[in-house]
Amino acid sequence: MNYSNARAFKAAENLTDDLVIELAKSIYDGTNGYDKDEKIAKTMINRVAVKGNLEAQYMLYNIYDNENDNKEAIKWLKMAANRGHIGASLTLFYEYIEGDVSDINEEKIIGTIMEAADKEDPNAMFIVSELYEQGGHGIEKDCNLARVYCKGSAELGCPLAQYKMYKYLISEDKDVALVWLKKAAQNDDEEAQYQLWLELSKEAYNWLDKAYMKQYPDAMYDFARLQETDVFMKRDFEGAKDTYTILSLLNIRMAAERLIEYGEYEEYNKEYKNLTNLLVEYEAYASLAAFCFNQIKQGVAVNENIEILEKAAESDSSEALYTLSVVYKFADELENCEKYHNTLKANKYLLKSANLGNIEAEETIFDEFYRGEKGLNISEKEALKYLHSSAEKGNPSALNLLGVLHYYGRMVEQDEIKAYDYFAEAAKKDFDFARYNLGTLYESAGKFDEAIKHYSEAASNGEPYSMKKIVELWEKGYIDEITKESIDEIE
């Protein structure tokens, strides 16, 4: 025993029970300047416990339980519980239910727990909710009361009750159920933490699957990684390799690295047609169109790529149809493509792609009509219908264009509020020209702080009109600081 511990042990004879307990805790844990000495601490707590202090008795239960001395642990647990210590009563009842303890005064213990529940002890309330849910032990089954006590316990922070509320509500109101599940997880309930992972993973997988179906490269890569496991789907190595192959065509380095790890990168890249046929086989038309168009722009295998796109177009691929419309229209400006220039065919494919719901084709049709190009033979009403369809599908460029039309009153009724709404919706989708347009609306209304915010966001992404506006507002004194380097960059 060191000097500090010895002094504390001696001083304990003249301290209140509560102070002795606190002092013993410090010595037991080796904190607050005391050396760790479990034997001395236990002796100090024992002195208080034999005098009838319930907290000390419950502490001795925990100490002996940690030492695997079950006989001594239960002795002190029963002693504290039988005299009304709520923590001891709850623990004893748990031990009794689990079959680890017998020969208890069940009526008295349950009475103590009920009394504590009425005083809003969260752990007692949870036990009572379980008693009412299951019935027995002198309690009549009452599911309504069980839920009332469980909710009360959950609201007071009991993680077991919070997790139980999730179970109650998951089939009734998933959003509310997940709120309780998150609270239980945050309160360190390991079962809730695992269940929350499952719930969030399922939701994340559903969104990943949607993005994968739209052939978003990052989503396709992550989907392929899941295909290599048995999480959320049956393990499918061949499917994963095929997905990596598709991505390797789009120069996704990580996908190529995965194929190399499989030792099959060279095998998949032996024949160009095999690769593109794989894209067709998996109906990965967006990836196919992007790959083929990139090849055509570089003047590489033009005939083969157009042939592949034509085959995909026969399967009503809106992406292939739209890509072909661009190729046929601008073939005279592309290397090795002059012979494919065909405006009639371009318009035919453009309309067919738009009628299949392709948002780029829909916007292009309106754009060509608006600029007065001939050949599509559609009315103003039809052109607007295509633009609205593209915007409704979330195309930010189309949303911004509708904002412009409403702002100037062109082809639609002039309405600055609608213009603002369309610009704002496009800006939410990170369309920088819409941010610029929002800035002009705020600037014309004299709300320079808001205008500068939108100009700055767009300018930081290189939007030229916004960059120019930043300099203009700085010169007028609406912006306090701007570096010379920024001005030089903008100019």
The pLDDT of residue 483 is above 50: no
Quick check: is 295 in a domain? Answer: no
Looking at 201, 232, 248, the residue that finishes a domain is 201
pLDDT on residue 71: 86
Instruction: Return d(Cα 291, Cα 280) in angstroms, integer.
Output: 12
Quick check: is 197 in a domain? Answer: yes
Looking at 201, 231, 252, the residue that finishes a domain is 201
The pLDDT of residue 12 is above 70: no
Q: Give ∠ CA 95-98-100 in degrees, rounded to 5.
A: 55
The pLDDT of residue 303 is above 50: yes
pLDDT on residue 481: 60
Same domain for 61 and 147? Answer: yes
Same domain for 436 and 422? Answer: no
Which of 33, 11, 31 has its CA nearest to residue 20? 11
pLDDT category at 271 given cuts 50, 70, 90 is very low
Same domain for 401 and 491? Answer: no
The pLDDT of residue 196 is above 80: yes
Quick check: is 346 in a domain? Answer: no
- CATH code of the domain covering residue 454: 1.25.40
pLDDT on residue 484: 45
Quick check: is 239 in a domain? Answer: no
Side chain identity, residue 223:
F
Q: What is the pLDDT of residues 142-171, one digit of tens each?
A: 999 999 999 999 999 999 999 999 999 999
With a pLDDT cut of 70, the percent of the chain lying above it is 89
Say how far residue 405 (Cα) sits from the centre of its chain: 36
Same domain for 418 and 437? Answer: no
The pLDDT of residue 474 is above 90: no
Q: Are 55 and 47 in contact (CB under 8 A)?
A: no
pLDDT on residue 201: 86
Quick check: is 280 in a domain? Answer: no
Looking at 201, 222, 241, the residue that finishes a domain is 201
pLDDT category at 99 given cuts 50, 70, 90 is confident
Same domain for 388 and 489? Answer: no
* Confidence (pTM): 0.49
Same domain for 423 and 434? Answer: no
Which of 73, 77, 67, 23 has its CA nearest to residue 45? 23
pLDDT on residue 265: 47
What is the average pLDDT across 4-29? Answer: 77
Backbone φ and ψ for 71, nearest 5 degrees, come out as -60, -50
More confident residue, 129 or 479: 129
Same domain for 96 and 123? Answer: yes
What is the average pLDDT across 256-269? Answer: 59
The pLDDT of residue 451 is above 50: yes
Same domain for 79 and 44? Answer: yes
pLDDT on residue 169: 93
Structure tokens at 205: 């997988």
Q: Are 29 and 36 in contact (CB under 8 A)?
A: yes
Same domain for 79 and 107? Answer: yes
Mean pLDDT is highest, among 15-19, 76-80, 192-196, 218-222, for 192-196
pLDDT on residue 58: 85
Instruction: Return d(Cα 42, Cα 76) in angstroms, integer.
Output: 13
pLDDT on residue 274: 54
Same domain for 398 and 442? Answer: no
What is the average pLDDT across 181-185? Answer: 94
pLDDT on residue 266: 47
What is the average pLDDT across 37-53? Answer: 86
What is the average pLDDT across 350-360? Answer: 96
pLDDT category at 397 given cuts 50, 70, 90 is very high
Same domain for 388 and 470? Answer: no
Instruction: Return d(Cα 453, Cα 489) in angstroms, integer.
Output: 19
Quick check: is 343 in a domain? Answer: no
Q: Are 51 and 17 in contact (CB under 8 A)?
A: yes
Same domain for 471 and 414? Answer: no
The pLDDT of residue 61 is above 90: no
Domain that holds residue 448: 430-491
Instruction: Return d(Cα 466, Cα 434) in angstroms, integer.
Output: 10
Quick check: is 351 in a domain? Answer: no
pLDDT category at 270 given cuts 50, 70, 90 is very low
Number of domains in the chain: 3
Would you give the DSSP letter of residue 14? G
Mean pLDDT score of the chain, rounded to an integer?
A: 85
The pLDDT of residue 448 is above 80: yes
pLDDT on residue 421: 96
More confident residue, 137 or 140: 140
- CATH code of the domain covering residue 12: 1.25.40.10
Q: Are 428 and 443 in contact (CB under 8 A)?
A: no
The pLDDT of residue 269 is above 70: no
Quick check: is 248 in a domain? Answer: no
Mean pLDDT is highest, among 64-68, 244-248, 394-398, for 394-398
Strand, coil or helix: what is 436?
helix
What is the average pLDDT across 111-131? Answer: 85
